[in-house]
């Protein structure tokens, strides 16, 4: 699997009807920039509202994984998301002129084929990947459904289902590599039992369903009343039951097509984690509810790990830049020079360090009886690290000044006290253009994240006098 992010080269559209609403819908896949992620855009609504494919927006898992953000909905998202993930796509915009994607044949294969026509291309930015180091699990005690995630060299999924019926008993399916998804899983269609179908019809759902886009397993005797309902719903004069207990004349693509489709759903639902996963998933009796609850749990674990991913450096080694070298680049001078060393520097990131001592001038007036480093100065120190990063992009940094343009998402997590060693890391969010540097910066002390912010600064040539 590539370590770089991917998107599609050109846009491509599909049209059909939503499974439950029966509404006509056109869905268009469009390329997206690096770090954009996967998002849905409702082009039929004012303002073209966007919903990111994130577990935090899951509001309902009845008959599909349904998202909602600020009142805007996307329903039954899982089949589309499974296709995107299986093709190793990181960044994509999915435009829709209705709330529900087209059901097509009830599988992901048509989405796969469309995305392949759009051509998948590699981008320059490295992708984030969650590497599973220990077993993570979740169990729904009410249903017995359970998901386990364990270490593995690549993303693998096994599903085990047991529906407790004669027509569809115990089934298993395994995907050893996403490269095999198209041939082994993508064409597995959604399915339902006859008793569920009756309930859906009674609630005026599956308006877009027919006997070609869903497998219906007959798990009960069909009464004349039920048969009449089915004929009316599917606009057919005759409906029969095959010897293997399937409604009408639909032929299974695999004997374990139901388990394969459950695997498809797991991939689609876990896409909502928002990060590529390197690990093996074992899902026993999976369903959209347990899948998405696990996705939310995993999302929190990954977020916590990222926040506490403290850079490790050997501070006994000679620094890349000492304070004298720093002063030859930055215009700042004591007492407002707030970094002591530069430990790493590349075209896209910088790591700096500051030893916080009781002799800092700001401690004289800032809580002198309980000295705490002011948060604004922590931001300033990170910005000075960023100044080194942006000034290193010009051949004569001594002739430039760096000015703040913007700061966003500023958060202070822990107090910084005398005796602490602060490590700052700033990474470019986008390439430096016209002297403008947009970066994500974090500060660490005592193996904890203490401050983070998105910073934007610009270098400007000094006025000649």
Q: Tokens 């970094």 label which residue?
A: 339
Give SS3 for 199: helix
CA distances 7 to 1, 84, 118, Å, are: 14, 10, 10
Name the active-site residue from 110, 261, 288, 438: 288
Angle at 308 between CA 305 and CA 311, to 5 degrees: 115
Phi and psi angles of residue 285, each rounded to the nearest 5 degrees, phi first: 55, 50
Angle at CA of residue 228, ends 223 and 232, nearest 5°: 150
Let me know if 261 is a catalytic residue. Answer: no
Q: Which of 38, 53, 148, 20 is nearest to 87 (CA)?
A: 38
* Cβ pair 139, 145 in contact under 8 A: yes
Assess contact for 357 and 383: CB atoms under 8 A.
no
Tell which residue, 314, 330, 317, 384, has the closest CA to residue 352: 384
Using N-to-C axis directions, what is the helix angle for 288-307 and 257-270, rounded to 10°?
A: 30
Q: How does DSSP classify residue 56?
A: G
Please indicate whether residue 366 is annotated as part of the active site.
yes
Among residues 36, 332, 349, 366, which one is catalytic?
A: 366
Radius of gyration of the chain (CA): 28
Phi/psi-derived region of residue 248, left when phi > 0, alpha when psi is between -120 and 50, beta in every other case: left
Give the separation between CA 418 and CA 360, rounded to whole angstroms: 9
- Alpha helices in 271-392, H assignment, sequence order: 288-307, 323-327, 375-391
| Tokens read off for 382 | 């990170």
Residues 6+ apart with CB under 8 A from 224: none
Closest CA to 77 of 89, 96, 90: 96
Backbone dihedral angles phi then psi of residue 402, each to the nearest 5 degrees: -110, 130
Residues catalogued as catalytic = 288, 366
């Amino acid at each position: 699997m590539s370590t770089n992010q991917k998107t599609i080269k050109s846009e491509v559209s599909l049209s059909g009807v939503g499974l439950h609403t029966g509404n006509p819908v056109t869905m268009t896949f469009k390329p997206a920039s690096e770090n954009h992620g996967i998002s849905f855009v409702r082009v039929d609504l004012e303002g073209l509202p966007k919903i990111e494919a994130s577990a935090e927006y899951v509001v309902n898992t009845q008959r599909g994984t349904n998202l909602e953000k600020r009142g805007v909905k996307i329903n039954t998202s899982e089949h589309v998301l499974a296709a995107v993930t299986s093709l190793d796509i990181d960044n994509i915009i999915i435009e829709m002129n209705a709330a529900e994607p087209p059901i097509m044949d009830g599988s992901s294969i048509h989405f796969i084929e469309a995305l392949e026509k759009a051509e998948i291309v590699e981008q320059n930015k490295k992708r984030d990947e969650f590497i599973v180091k220990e077993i993570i699990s979740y169990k729904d005690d009410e249903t017995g459904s359970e998901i386990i995630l364990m270490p593995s060299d690549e993303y693998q999924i096994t599903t085990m289902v047991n529906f407790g019926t004669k027509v569809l008993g115990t089934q298993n399916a395994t995907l050893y590599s996403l490269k095999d998804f198209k041939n082994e899983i993508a064409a597995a269609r959604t399915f339902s039992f006859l008793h569920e179908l009756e309930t859906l019809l009674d609630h005026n759902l599956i308006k877009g369903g027919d006997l070609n886009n869903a497998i219906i397993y007959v798990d009960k005797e069909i009464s004349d009343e039920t048969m009449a309902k089915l004929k009316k719903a599917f606009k057919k004069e005759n409906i029969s039951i095959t010897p293997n207990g399937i409604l009408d004349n639909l032929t299974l693509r695999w004997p374990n097509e139901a388990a394969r489709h459950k695997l498809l759903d797991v991939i689609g639902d876990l896409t909502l984690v928002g990060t590529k996963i390197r690990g093996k998933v074992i899902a026993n009796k999976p369903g959209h509810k347990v899948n998405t609850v696990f996705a939310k749990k995993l999302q929190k674990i990954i977020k916590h790990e990222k926040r506490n991913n403290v850079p490790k450096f050997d501070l006994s080694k000679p620094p890349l830049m000492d304070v004298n070298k720093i002063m030859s680049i930055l215009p700042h001078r004591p007492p407002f020079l707030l970094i002591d060393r530069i430990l790493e520097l590349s075209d896209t990131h910088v790591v700096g360090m500051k030893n916080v001592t009781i002799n800092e001038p700001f401690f004289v007036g800032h809580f002198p009886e309980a000295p705490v480093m002011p948060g604004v100065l922590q931001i300033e120190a990170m910005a000075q690290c960023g100044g080194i990063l942006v000034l290193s992009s010009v051949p004569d940094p001594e002739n430039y000044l760096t000015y703040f343009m913007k700061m966003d998402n500023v958060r202070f997590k822990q107090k910084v006290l005398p005796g602490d060693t602060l490590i700052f890391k700033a990474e470019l969010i986008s390439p430096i253009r016209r002297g403008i540097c947009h970066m994500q910066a974090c500060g660490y002390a005592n193996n904890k994240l203490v401050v983070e912010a998105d910073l934007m600064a610009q270098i400007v040539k000094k006025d000649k006098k």
